[in-house]
Amino acid sequence: MFCSIGKFSELTGLGVHTLRYYEREGLLSPARSQANRRVYTERDAAWAAFYRSLVKNSSARW
């Protein structure tokens, strides 16, 4: 799987802004295309699912 940030957002259920935040914080590191666009892979999807499960199962209340 190689997809853009919009498609990856749809597939993972994480917002585009959340994905960009995770990248800024070093939690995700998608590859870049020649046009400098983010390209997400299966590895990124696995990490995104892990982070999402951490948030979902967190006992913290925001």
| Domain 5-56 = CATH 1.10.1660.10 | yes
pLDDT reported for residue 59:
66
Q: Is the pTM higher than 0.75?
A: yes
Question: How far is residue 33 from each of residues 2, 3, 39, 60, measured CA to CA in Å?
Answer: 10, 10, 6, 37
CB 31 within 8 A of CB 41: yes
Q: Where are the domains of the chain?
A: 5-56
Average pLDDT over residues 22-48: 94
Average pLDDT over residues 6-23: 94
